[in-house]
A = this chain, B = another copy of it.
Amino acid sequence: MKEVKQVIVVRDDLKISRGKLAVQVAHASIIGYENADREIAEVWKKQGQKKIVLRVESLDELMKIKEKAEKMGLPTGVVVDSGLTEIPPNTVTAIVIGPDYAEKIDKITGSLQLLK
């Protein structure tokens, strides 16, 4: 069976705590799961719901990746933080692509760095 994964891309130019960062990634994951094709989402869960967290350095870079993914027909989503703590209200913090086939997603995100 072909590998299914979910990729979450976060803005690493925002200076936020590990906890807040993790919350953004979790928001993204739920949004992506809800937006995905149901059959592909089931395969993803059976395979162990693989998630990859990548980083970019700007909002502009983030939105370009989202646009490319949409053009390929991949399910995407955007996380907008209400900004009650740490960052201004309505800051875009992350995007999600998938769950969908890894080989499709890799065409968009294959050159991005892992968040360390």
For residue A102, CB closer than 8 A to chain B, the reply is: no
- A: number of interface residues (CB 8 Å): 27
Tell me whether A73 is interfacial, beta carbon within 8 Å. Answer: no
Would you give the 0/1 interface string for A105-116, flagging 1 where the beta carbon is closer than 8 Å to chain B? 000000000111
Question: Across the interface, which residues of B come within 8 angstroms of A29, CB to CB?
Answer: 26, 29-30
Give Cα A22–Cα B16 distance, bound, in whole angstroms.
13
Interface positions of A (Cβ within 8 A of B): 8, 10, 17-30, 33, 48-49, 51-53, 55, 82, 114-116
Taking a contact as CB atoms closer than 8 A, the residue among B17, B18, B28, B55 that contacts A26 in the complex is B28
**Are A115 and B51 CB-contacts (below 8 A) given A29-B29, A30-B30, A33-B30?**
no
Q: Which of A24, A28, A115 has the most CB of B within 10 A?
A: A115
Q: Say whether, besides A48-B82, A82-B48, A115 and B19 are in contact (CB < 8 Å).
A: yes
